[in-house]
Amino acid sequence: IEASRLLIYNAALAKESAKGTGGRYTTEASMAKLFASETAMFCAHQAVQIHGGMGYSKEMPVERYFRDAKITEIYEGTSEIQRLVIARNELGLR
């Protein structure tokens, strides 16, 4: 979770730096989004596993956390799209 936070801070710093220079920060933003959303999904999945069958019940807040974590992998570009963006930028294909 701390690594996700640091990647987000790095992306925010890259965005601030790009304001004056017109530079790009797409790679940093994609890395932060990908890692944070996958970390959230991993943590939520582990929480559901700990709670067993009750983890899927709407009576437990962990069910909501799992749904919310899953949607973070989808909106603003799926994890696969984020990987493509990162690869293209790092390989200089774009």
Tokens of 31: 């890395």
Please give the residue range of the domain that contains residue 64.
2-91
Residue 77 in contact with residue 70, Cβ under 8 Å? no
Give dist(CA 3, CA 37) in Å, integer. 12
Catalytic annotation, residues: 76
pTM: 0.86
List the CATH number of the domain containing 82. Answer: 1.20.140.10
DSSP H or E run through 15: helix 2-21
Identify the weakest region by mean pLDDT among 4-8, 46-50, 51-55, 67-71.
51-55
Q: Which amino acid type is present at position 71?
A: I
Question: What are the tens digits of pLDDT across the range 18-27?
Answer: 988 878 899 9
Domain count, the chain: 1
Q: Which residue has the higher pLDDT, 38 or 60?
A: 38
Mean of the per-residue pLDDT values of the chain: 92
